[in-house]
Amino acid sequence: MPRNIELKVRCADLGAAEATCERLGAQRQWTRRQTDLYFAVPDGRLKLRIETPGEAMLVAYHRPDAPAPRDSHYEVTPVRDADAERASLEAEFGIRTQVDKTRTLYLLEHVRIHLDDVAGLGTFIEFEAVMDPGRDDAATHALLARLRAEFAIADEDLLPGSYSDMLPPRH
C-alpha cells in the first residue's frame, strides 16, 4: 500500500498560510470543493470523495490517531459512477458522516500542503509527505518539522484524527 506521513493542524488564517506557501516556493495546483462520505467500516477508514470540479474516488486508509506526524497507509481507486458506488457502500456499511470542504492544494518537494475550509469546523492545514520507495523517513520528519516552524504551528493546534471524527454522526 502507498504511504504518507501526515500532520493535520488548526489554522486561524488561511490567507497567511497561503502567503507562507508562496514564500516557500510551493506550487499551487488547484482549488476544489470536496465532499467526503465516510462509511461505517469495521477496520480503518473508507470514504467516497467527490470533487467539484474533478472526479470521484474511493479512499481506504489506516492511520493512528495522534497529534504528531504519523504514517498513513492508503489506497485510492477511481470511481466512474459516484451515485452507484455510494448506494452500494451505504447499503453495505451505512454512512458514518459527511465532510464538506473547500481545499487548495500546494506542492513543495514531496509534500502536499492542503489548505482546507471545512463546513461546520473551520480552517485547517494538512501536510501529506508522499513516501515513495527509498525516501528517507528521518529527512521527511525534518522537512515536516521545518514546515511546522515556517507556518508557526503551536502544539495546541495539532489534531490527532480526521475531520470525520470532529463532526457528529450522520443519521
Domain spans of the chain, in order of start: 3-163
Residues contacting residue 29 through CB under 8 Å, at least 6 positions apart:
105, 106, 107
pLDDT 10s digits, 51-92: 998 899 999 999 988 889 999 999 999 999 999 999 999 999
Residue in 129, 146, 161 with CA at minimum distance from that of residue 20: 146
pLDDT 10s digits, 31-60: 999 999 999 999 999 999 999 988 999 999
Q: What's the rounded Cα separation, in Å, for the pair 31 and 42? A: 32
CATH architecture of 3-163: Beta Barrel (2.40)
The pTM (predicted TM-score) of the whole model is 0.94
Q: What's the rounded Cα separation, in Å, for the pair 66 and 15? A: 27
